[in-house]
Amino acid sequence: MDIIIKDLCKSYGENTVLDSLNAVIGKGKITCLMGPSGEGKTTLMNILMGIEKADSGAVENMPQNKSAVFQEDRLCESFSAFTNVKIANDSLADDTIISHLEQVGLGDAVYQQVSTLSGGQKRRVALVRALLAEKDILFLDEPFKGLDEDTKKIVTGYLLNNTADTTVVMVTHDIDEASALGADVLYLKDGKITL
Ligand SMILES: Nc1ncnc2c1ncn2[C@@H]1O[C@H](COP(=O)(O)OP(=O)(O)OP(=O)(O)O)[C@@H](O)[C@H]1O
Ligand SMILES: [Mg+2]
């Protein structure tokens, strides 16, 4: 079933961030959440994930098993790329983890300590970790942050190849990314979805 967001409100003190927001997120589809900085995209994602509480309103049909790339990487810096993926889902075969890291261009960095990776390399580790975790819905908050155009293309292909029939909610500032993913677009402005 599609996820239905009904009359969601969220304020921080005097700052009204979500103002009776309504939206539908299609089951098995990719939905891109767009809108200017500071308008509440991450706040909405956090409410959908259950990390933050809305002041009022409802979210219906949200699946139980959630996986995420947060706005920050939130990796275990002293562990390798491989171990970061493994600890999120220890039923994974080692070959699967290595293959996925290779698919995003991290074949040479599989056993490298995360603290020694570049920003864009860390971002890809976070993406593989989220994608290989057990889940019914995937939340991605600016997953391509720090990637150059060529790497972005590789990672877009990786995402498309590995999210068939998965419900994905992704924050991006780039309409071309949304188009490349064939995503539905929700535009957040003044506390509401306007598109
Ligand atoms: N924990 C918090 N306490 C107080 N205010 C907050 C908190 N989290 C977010 N805000 C405020 O809520 C508003 C929306 O923030 P949010 O991080 O959701 O924006 P965003 O759309 O994700 O922006 P960006 O594109 O820059 O990531 C901002 O005005 C921010 O200052
Ligand atoms: Mg944000």
Q: Give 153-193 pLDDT, tens digit per residue.
A: 999 999 999 999 999 999 999 999 999 999 999 999 999 99
Distance of CA 181 to the CA centre of its chain: 13
Amino acid at 105: G
Residues touching ligand 1 (Cβ under 6 Å) are 12, 15, 17, 37-43, 71
- Nearest-atom index, ligand 1, CA of 46: 18
pLDDT of residue 162: 96
Query: Mutate which of 16, 18, 39 to test ligand 1's pocket (most atoms within 8 Å of Cβ)?
Result: 39
Rounded distance, CA 89 to CA 19, Å?
Answer: 37
Q: What is the pTM of this model?
A: 0.97
Rounded distance, CA 6 to CA 11, Å?
Answer: 16
According to DSSP, the residues that pair with 178 across neighbouring strands are none
Span 85-94, mean pLDDT? 97
Using CA positions, which residue lies closest to atom 7 of ligand 1?
A: 12
Rounded distance, CA 31 to CA 166, Å?
Answer: 11
Task: Please say whether the beta carbons of 189 and 159 come within 8 A.
Answer: no
Using CA positions, which residue lies closest to atom 31 of ligand 1?
A: 38
Task: Kindly list the structural domains of the chain, giving each domain's residue range(s) and its CATH number in brackets, ordered by start.
Answer: 1-64+165-195 (3.40.50.300)
Rounded distance, CA 62 to CA 91, Å?
Answer: 25
Mean pLDDT, the chain, rounded, equals 97
pLDDT of residue 127: 98
Amino acid at 67: S
pLDDT digits (tens, 9 = 90+) for 38-83: 999 999 999 999 999 999 999 999 999 999 999 999 999 999 999 9
Examine the pLDDT at 195 and tell me if it is beyond 90.
no
Percent residues over pLDDT 90 in the chain? 99
Which band of pLDDT confidence, cut at 50, 70 and 90, is reported for residue 105?
very high
- Nearest-atom index, ligand 1, CA of 45: 18
